[in-house]
Amino acid sequence: MVDKGLGAAGVIDADGHVFEPDELWERHLPKRWHDRRPRLVHDDRGTTRYLIGDRMIPPGTGVGAWVPRGVQEEACLRPGGTDPALRLEDMDTEGIDVAVLYGTVSLGFYTTPDPELTAVICRAYNDWLAEYCAHAPQRLKGVPSLPLADTDAALAELRRCVEELGFVALNLPVSILGRHPDDPCNDVFYETAVDLDVPVSFHVGGAQFLNARFVDEYAMLHVLEFPFDLMYAATRLVCGGVLDRHPQLRVSFLEAGTGWLPYLFERLDEHYDKRTDEFTAIGRAPSEYLGDGRLWVSCEPSEQDLVHTCERIGAELVLFASDYPHWDAEYPESVSKIRDRPGLTAADRDAILGGNARRYLGAHLGAAVG
């Protein structure tokens, strides 16, 4: 353990990533599927893309295209993205005790058109991630990829991943195949998360609401897509009554910083105050849900709005996230940029770097830290 005196919770990275190596399919996908296995390929510019069936992820050029240097080149800048031993070395360098791990390309596996293929590639990825985490199970914690178009299959795989593989959260896209987060069809996911005592994370990836408005303009798309998606999810989740219907549900909004949260909830409160009758699913101001201890937002280590967010809505809502090993991660300074931030109290830093994540993750974090 590398806890450097930052409180009993240690340092918990609530949103790190792995990258899906090409070889995982050879080892974890049943042989009868190998002719349709996902694979890393090179496009006409010589950069890497992921090919699943006849779909290139992300698209190489054209509408919504992104990562011009290639998906592997942008998403796996450190070998620890595929090698757990090297990741642990980097965690020690940063001072991170525990990392919660999301995929990269696998965030969008649920959109694969063939439901049977989707189920088998999700299971193969989850088995590989469990193997990766098994290198240090108290420090590496997985989050599954699920075949969300088939609810029964997705819930069965979620249970397997939590109960058998030791995974710690349910990740949902901000829109499940066009459904709002507050659509009653999604309630079964929230009910199962509560039953399994795991939180629900809304992580950007797969929804792509803005893709059609950009052509080969990744930087602008990336700036807007992430906060727009999460503002949409937070608005529907709170104002659509999900938290009232599921009072034990714990939720996070990941990978767009914190600055959007006070801005959004100020606007929501203004509209609730002036147009109360239109908020039929809730009976109190939206910002009051922020005080319930069930909502969290991840921060960017160097974001200038972090202190402002803590002052406006409270440091107890903020999770530390490294985004390692992606292009915008701040390794090896992601922890130090929080620890050394002027304007944060020692209690704020301890909460952000670990205490809040312990409450968010709950019992499945285990005795990994503290």
Residue 317 has pLDDT above 50, yes or no: yes
* Out of 67-76, 114-123, 295-304, least confident range: 67-76
Report the b/e string of 335-360 with b at 16+ CB within 10 A: beebbebeebeeebbbbbbbbbbbbb
Confidence of residue 246 (pLDDT cuts 50, 70, 90): very high
CA torsion sign for 246, 252, 253, 258 is positive
Residue 1 has pLDDT above 90, yes or no: no
Give CATH for domain 12-364.
3.20.20.140
Question: Does 147 sit behind a cis peptide bond, omega within 30 degrees of 0 on the bond before it?
Answer: no
Predicted local confidence at residue 236, as pLDDT: 97
What proportion of the chain, given as a percentage, has pLDDT over 70?
Answer: 95
What's the CA gap between 326 and 18, in Å, rounded? 9
* Position with higher pLDDT, 274 vs 57: 274
Tally of CB atoms within 10 A around 179: 14
What proportion of the chain, given as a percentage, has pLDDT over 90?
Answer: 84
Alpha carbon 298 to chain centroid, angstroms: 9
Q: Which two tokens stand for residue 89?
A: 């070395």
β-strands 318-320, 200-203: how paired?
unpaired
Mean pLDDT score across all residues of the chain? 93
Alpha-carbon Rg for the chain in angstroms: 20
Predicted local confidence at residue 367, as pLDDT: 55
Residue 95's region, left for phi above 0, alpha for psi from -120 to 50, else beta, is: left
Contact 215, 160 (CB under 8 A): no
Report pLDDT digits (tens) over 282-295: 999 999 999 999 99
Residue 304 has pLDDT above 60, yes or no: yes
* Out of 3-12, 23-32, 174-183, least confident range: 3-12
Cα dihedral 296→297→301→307 (10° resolution):
-80
Report pLDDT digits (tens) over 182-239: 999 999 999 999 999 999 999 976 556 788 888 889 899 999 999 999 999 999 999 9
Confidence of residue 127 (pLDDT cuts 50, 70, 90): very high
